[in-house]
Chains A and B, each alone.
Chain A
Amino acid sequence: MSGSMPVSEDLSREVRRIIAQTVGVPVGQVTMELRLDAGGLGIDSLGLIKLNVSIEERFNIAIPDSVADDPSQLKSVRDVVELVGACVARGGVS
C-alpha cells in the first residue's frame, strides 16, 4: 500500500476514529504504524471485513474487490488510511 498520495489530516483522523470504535480502544492508541492483526490491534478476518464495510459506509466509497476479498493485505493503520485516501480521490459509489 506504500506510494499512495498524501491524505488529509481530517481523513486520517476519521479513519483512525472508526478503527478505534471497531476495536474498542481510545483513538489516541491507534497510531499510523500500528499493525491491525494480533501483533497490534488484534483484528481478525471478520473484523477486517466489518471495518471495511464501516469505512465504505462512512466515506461512500467502494473498496476494490482485490482488497475487499482479501483484507489481510491491509497490514497497518497506515495501509487503511492510504487505501481510503485513494478510494475517496477516485470518487464515490456510482
Chain B
Amino acid sequence: MSAAERMVPVEGRLSRGNVAEGVAHTQAERAAMERSREEQIEHERAQVAEHYQHEPAIFSMVLDRRLAYATGVFHDPSEDLDTAQNRKFARIAAKLAIKPGEKVLDVGCGWGSNLLYLAQHTEGVFHGITLSERQRGEAMSRARAWGVDDRVTIDVCHVEELAFAEESFDAILFSGSIVHMHNRAGIHGLVSRALKPGGRMLISDCYFPATERGDRESEATQYIFVEALGYCRLIGLWEELSMIEKAGLDILHVEDLTRHYALTLGKWIDNVRRNRQRIEALSPGFSRVLQSYMTVAKMSFARRTALEYMILATKGQPAVDVGRWEIP
C-alpha cells in the first residue's frame, strides 16, 4: 500500500460514531477508527492498562526514584536518571506555575511522579486519574509516605468518562499519556471546558514528523504501538496543536525533547539489562518486552522518525509570561 493510499481521510471510516479527526498514520490507528467511541474506550481501558499493571517493583528497577515513565531533561548525557527527571519535574512546575489552592488534574498520572512532585513543591490540590489500579495504589501509598495525601486524590478512570464541573481546574497535565488516547479532538474539547479562565494545559509526548520519515507500517511500529503498549496514536505536532487551538486554547510554548528521550531510553535499557533476572522472576518474558520496545523507541528518537515535544497551552490570559523565560 502506498503512503497516499494509506492517508485516507478519516471521515469515510466514521460510520460508527467515532469522533476522531485527521488521517490514519498507522495500522493501530486504522483499527481504532473502525471501533465506536465506546468500543475504543473499552479497548484503551483493557489494553493500555495491561502494561502498567505489572509490578511497580519492576518499574522501580528501570525508572528513576519517582517512577517517571516519560523523558527526562539532560544537560549532559552522563547525568543519571534522577537528575534528568528532577529537572523535568521542576520545568513542568515552572510552566504550570501552580498557586496555593489551585486545582490540578493529572490525566494518566502513572505512579504519581509529576503529581506528587507538584504536591510536594506547591500548595495546589491534586487529582490524578489512571487506568491501572496498581498505579493508583502505588501513587497513593507514596502520597501517604510523603505526607501529601490530604491534597491528593487518585481515581481509576478513563478521561472520557471523568465527571467534572465546567471551569473547575486551573491546570491539566498529560505526561506520556495522551499518546494512549485516540479521541484527541474530544479530549481537547473536554480540557477546554474543564479549565478555568487562565487555566493551563501541559502535554509531554511523542509525535510523528509532518512529512513521513521511517516506516510507520513496519512490524516494529505495530509491536511498540499495540503488542508492547496496548494502544498508541502518534499524530503530527501540527495536528495536535490544531486540535488544541480549535478547542479554544492558545498555544504558549512548544519545546523539542527528542534527543532527551533517546538518552532516557538508553538509561532505562541499561537498567533492564542490569536487573534482567529479577524482572524475569517477577514477570517472565517482560524484560524482553521492555528492552525490545525501548530499543525501537530509542532508535526512532535517535533517527528523528519520532519526535518528543512538551506543549503548554492556556485558556484565555496566560498565567505565565513565556517571553520572560530565560534561554541561557
Bound-state CA distance A26–B318 (Å) is: 65
Known interface pairs A44-B218, A57-B287, A65-B266; A50-B292 also in contact (CB < 8 Å): yes
Interface size class of B (residues with CB under 8 A): 10 to 19
Q: Which of B271-305 contact A (CB under 8 A)?
A: 273-274, 276, 287-288, 291-292, 295-296, 298-299, 302
Bound-state CA distance A49–B220 (Å) is: 9
Known interface pairs A56-B273, A57-B287, A69-B299; A45-B292 also in contact (CB < 8 Å): no
Contacts of B223 in A (CB 8 A): 46
Min C-beta distance of A41 to chain B, whole Å: 15
Bound-state CA distance A49–B280 (Å) is: 18
A54 to B, closest residue via Cβ: B288
Min C-beta distance of B152 to chain A, whole Å: 37
Interface size class of A (residues with CB under 8 A): 10 to 19
Contacts of A47 in B (CB 8 A): 219
Bound-state CA distance A65–B270 (Å) is: 10
Q: Which of B226-280 contact A (CB under 8 A)?
A: 266, 269-270, 273-274, 276
Contacts of A60 in B (CB 8 A): 276
Bound-state CA distance A56–B292 (Å) is: 11
A68 engages B295 (CB within 8 Å): yes
Bound-state CA distance A66–B269 (Å) is: 14
Please tell me if A8 contacts chain B, counting CB pairs below 8 Å: no
Contacts of B276 in A (CB 8 A): 56-57, 60, 93
> Which among B219, B295, B299, B302 is the interface contact of A53 at CB below 8 angstroms?
B295
A53 engages B292 (CB within 8 Å): yes
Min C-beta distance of B267 to chain A, whole Å: 12
Please tell me if A80 contacts chain B, counting CB pairs below 8 Å: no
Known interface pairs A57-B276, A62-B273; A45-B291 also in contact (CB < 8 Å): no
Known interface pairs A53-B295, A69-B299; A46-B218 also in contact (CB < 8 Å): yes
- B78-111 CB contact bits vs A (8 Å, 1 = yes)? 0000000000000000000000000000000000
Main secondary structure of the interface of B (DSSP, over half): helix
Known interface pairs A53-B288, A57-B287, A57-B288; A46-B296 also in contact (CB < 8 Å): yes
Bound-state CA distance A54–B299 (Å) is: 18
B219 engages A94 (CB within 8 Å): no
- A30-52 CB contact bits vs B (8 Å, 1 = yes)? 00000000000000111101101
> Which among B219, B266, B269, B288 is the interface contact of A46 at CB below 8 angstroms?
B219
A44 to B, closest residue via Cβ: B219
Bound-state CA distance A31–B276 (Å) is: 30
Bound-state CA distance A36–B292 (Å) is: 18
A49 engages B296 (CB within 8 Å): yes
Min C-beta distance of A24 to chain B, whole Å: 15
Give the residue among A60, A70, A93 with the most B Cβ atoms within 10 A: A93
B273 to A, closest residue via Cβ: A93
Q: 23 A–B contact pairs at CB < 8 A?
A: A44-B218, A44-B220, A45-B220, A46-B219, A46-B220, A46-B292, A49-B295, A50-B288, A50-B292, A52-B295, A53-B295, A56-B291, A57-B276, A60-B276, A62-B270, A62-B273, A65-B266, A68-B295, A69-B295, A69-B298, A69-B299, A69-B302, A70-B299
A-B CB proximity, top 10 nearest? A46-B220, A46-B219, A93-B273, A53-B291, A49-B295, A53-B288, A53-B292, A62-B273, A50-B292, A46-B223
Besides A44-B218, A57-B276, A62-B270, 10 other A-B contacts (C-beta < 8 A): A44-B219, A45-B220, A46-B220, A49-B296, A54-B288, A57-B287, A69-B295, A70-B299, A93-B276, A94-B274
